[in-house]
């Protein structure tokens, strides 16, 4: 709803003509006083109730000092007017004296109010004018995520920190960090040092433009635990939860190359290496006690760093070939009375879930983890056919919708330059399709609808080799996904014709931040940046 309030009051500030604020994601309701004088919030004095101090600091950092306006962050415990906020909701009201109040139950709500206020009052010639009015807002979904794969290519701390800022500007609140792959293990584990000495390095990579050709160049890097802590600290201040992912039992080739005893070492021609090509690889962990002890050690070091309730264990694309030919894996199947290797994967995931639960965490994994049976407490990240969402819901599992069809931002954004640097893994996912995404499957019952925590975009990094390419693939599709995840405009009344001009105005905000987004004509915003790190 957008409406114009009657001219109720005048505020002491310069007059400016009314321009639509083009908020992204769109709030639940917004109403402005078209003829009222706008308030210049640059340098405003920000006061806050003590629980909202973090949001206040963020706002002060953005606004600077020395201005006239006053912004109050007020903690509420009951509805504001007749609007019931929730743990992330807020109300912004401009008062006759030119003061602005952001009311919220939590620091997260006040923070999102601050983000909206900054979109309302964009910096132009050293001033930020806000048209007075009232905005009421809260998110549709609790899980508004983006996944970055740091395994295929190492994205690096500076770009990860920058992405956190960009996610926060879109009220996204989950950063799913895919940290291990066949092609690289990217986190320091002190008890198992070869994971980074061996597993973070590969001898070659496929070349951009021809995945069947090798560049024969050594490649590798990893995050120290201090790096991880820095990322989590920044994310926490931006109300983003970092959900780490350690892949198992497949996509584990780099770990197995580091410690071959963790794999199915009793099969013929066993010779694990860090992978140098893309695609689903053959090496999987063995279902050994030694492997489960290793996994517990990894969790023991990472869990204190990541406060997230959820820990992602991957679980996708685990080939069953090695388990079929491993006498040991077959003996586990016999011992546990498992009828096939899918049930062996379920046994593996079940063991890992117990380890995680004992350490106070909830398991989340890709949708394959339900194939051989699954406990009700695991959360399913649905990426393949939507039938897997139905299966999970019928079984009562919580779900994060991450389907290839609408959320795989490693697919081409559309028109792009004829240049190998812009190569993608395959497929096309235009932003219009992202915007049309409805995360709740049509056949879900009202009870099943409650199981959908939200949705997230995926940035698999086979073809994302630096921060500039990451931004080119992420934006502006993240802007569309953020609105799908936050705004309460269900598919019926969400329409591209309304969004497109709002997005065009929003892109100016990304221009100011030099975001290397994909444009309609196929070019990135800042072409020269794509060369960075090649
Ligand atoms: C996936 O794309 N393999 C989750």
Q: Is the pLDDT of residue 534 over 70?
A: no
- The predicted model scores a pTM of 0.96
Q: How far is the CA of 260 from the centre of ligand 1 (A)?
A: 24
- Residue 324, judged by CB atoms within 10 A of its CB (0-12, 13-18, 19+), counts as middle
Which pLDDT does position 408 carry in this prediction?
Answer: 98
Reported as a pLDDT band with limits 50, 70 and 90, residue 529 is low
Looking at residues 223-232, what average pLDDT do you find?
A: 98
Tokens representing 119? 């979109």
Domain ranges of the chain: 7-137, 143-512
Lowest mean pLDDT among 26-30, 276-280, 454-458, 528-532: 528-532
Q: How far is the CA of 142 from the centre of ligand 1 (A)?
A: 22
User: 453-495: per-residue pLDDT in tens?
Assistant: 999 999 999 999 999 999 999 999 999 999 999 998 776 678 9
Integer Cα distance of 272 and 217 in angstroms: 19
- Tell me phi and psi for residue 123, to 5 degrees: -75, 120
- Tell me phi and psi for residue 265, to 5 degrees: -75, -5
Query: What's the half-sphere exposure (Cβ side, CA atoms, 13 Å) at 123?
Result: 12
Q: How far is the CA of 305 from the centre of ligand 1 (A)?
A: 25
Q: Indicate whether residue 475 lines ligand 1 (CB < 6 A).
A: no
CB-CB neighbours of 214 under 10 Å? 14
Which pLDDT does position 95 carry in this prediction?
Answer: 74
Q: How far is the CA of 340 from the centre of ligand 1 (A)?
A: 22
Which pLDDT does position 2 carry in this prediction?
Answer: 46
With residues binned 3-state (H G I as helix, E B as strand, rest as coil), the percentages for the chain, rounded to 5, are 35, 20, 45
Q: How far is the CA of 280 from the centre of ligand 1 (A)?
A: 10
Q: State which ligand 1 atom lies nearest to the alpha carbon of 458.
A: 2
The reply to whether CATH 3.90.1150.10 applies to domain 7-137 is: no
Q: Indicate whether residue 366 lines ligand 1 (CB < 6 A).
A: yes
What sign does the CA torsion over 186, 190, 191, 197 have? Answer: positive
Integer Cα distance of 414 and 451 in angstroms: 33
Q: Is the pLDDT of residue 409 over 70?
A: yes
- What are the DSSP E strand ranges found in 335-483? 362-366, 379-382, 398-401, 452-459
CATH domain 143-512 topology: TIM Barrel (3.20.20)
Residue nearest to atom 1 of ligand 1 (CA): 316
Integer Cα distance of 294 and 192 in angstroms: 8
Pocket test for ligand 1, best of 279, 383, 384, 429 (most atoms within 8 A of CB): 383
Which stretches within 100-193 are classed as H helix? 107-120, 157-169
Integer Cα distance of 325 and 343 in angstroms: 16
């Amino acid at each position: 709803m957008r409406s114009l309030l009657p001219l109720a009051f005048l505020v002491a500030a310069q007059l400016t003509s009314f321009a639509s604020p083009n908020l992204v994601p769109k709030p639940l309701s917004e109403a402005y006083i078209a003829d009222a004088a706008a308030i210049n919030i640059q340098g405003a004095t920000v006061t806050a109730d003590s629980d909202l101090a973090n949001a206040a600091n963020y706002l002060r950092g953005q606004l600077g000092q020395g201005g006239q306006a006053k912004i109050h962050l007020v903690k509420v415990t009951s509805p504001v007017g007749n609007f019931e906020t929730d743990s992330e909701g807020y109300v912004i009201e401009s008062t006759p004296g030119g003061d602005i109040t952001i009311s919220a139950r939590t620091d997260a709500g006040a923070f999102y109010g601050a983000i909206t206020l900054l979109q309302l009052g964009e910096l132009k010639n050293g001033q930020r004018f806000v048209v007075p009015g009232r905005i009421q807002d809260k998110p549709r979904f609790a899980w508004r995520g983006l996944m970055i794969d740091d395994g295929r290519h190492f994205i690096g701390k500076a770009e990860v920190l920058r992405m956190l800022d960009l996610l926060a500007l879109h009220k996204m609140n989950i950063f799913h960090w895919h940290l291990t792959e066949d092609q690289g293990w990217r986190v320091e584990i002190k008890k198992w040092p070869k994971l980074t000495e061996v597993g973070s390095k590969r001898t070659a990579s496929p070349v951009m433009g021809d995945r069947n050709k090798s560049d024969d160049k050594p490649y590798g890097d990893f995050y120290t635990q201090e790096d991880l802590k820095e990322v989590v600290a920044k994310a926490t201040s931006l109300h983003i939860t970092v959900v780490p992912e350690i892949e198992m039992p497949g996509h584990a080739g780099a770990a197995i190359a580091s410690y071959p005893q963790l794999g199915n070492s009793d099969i013929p021609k066993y010779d694990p290496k860090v992978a140098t090509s893309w695609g689903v690889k053959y090496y999987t962990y063995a279902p050994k006690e030694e492997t489960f002890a290793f996994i517990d050690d990894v969790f023991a070091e990472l869990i204190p760093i990541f406060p997230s309730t959820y820990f992602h264990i991957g679980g996708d694309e685990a080939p069953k070939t090695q388990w079929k030919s491993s006498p040991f894996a077959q003996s586990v199947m016999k011992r546990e009375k498992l009828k096939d290797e899918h049930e062996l994967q379920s046994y593996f995931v079940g063991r890992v879930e117990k380890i995680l639960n004992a350490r106070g965490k909830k398991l989340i994994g890709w949708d394959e983890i339900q194939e051989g049976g699954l406990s009700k407490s695991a959360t399913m990240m649905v990426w393949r056919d939507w039938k897997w969402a139905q299966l999970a819901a019928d079984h009562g599992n919580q779900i994060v919708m991450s389907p290839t069809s609408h959320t795989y931002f490693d697919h081409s954004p559309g028109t792009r330059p004829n240049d190998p640097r812009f190569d993608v893994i395959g497929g096309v996912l235009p932003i219009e399709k992202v915007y049309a995404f409805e995360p709740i499957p049509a056949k879900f019952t009202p009870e099943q609808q409650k199981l959908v925590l939200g949705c997230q975009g995926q940035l698999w990094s086979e073809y994302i080799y630096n921060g500039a390419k990451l931004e080119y693939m992420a934006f502006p599709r993240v802007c569309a996904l953020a609105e799908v995840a936050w705004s309460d405009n269900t598919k019926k009344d969400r329409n591209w014709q309304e969004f497109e001009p709002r997005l065009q105005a929003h892109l100016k905000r990304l221009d100011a931040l030099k975001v290397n987004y994909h444009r309609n004509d196929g070019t990135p915003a800042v072409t020269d940046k794509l060369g960075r790190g090649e």
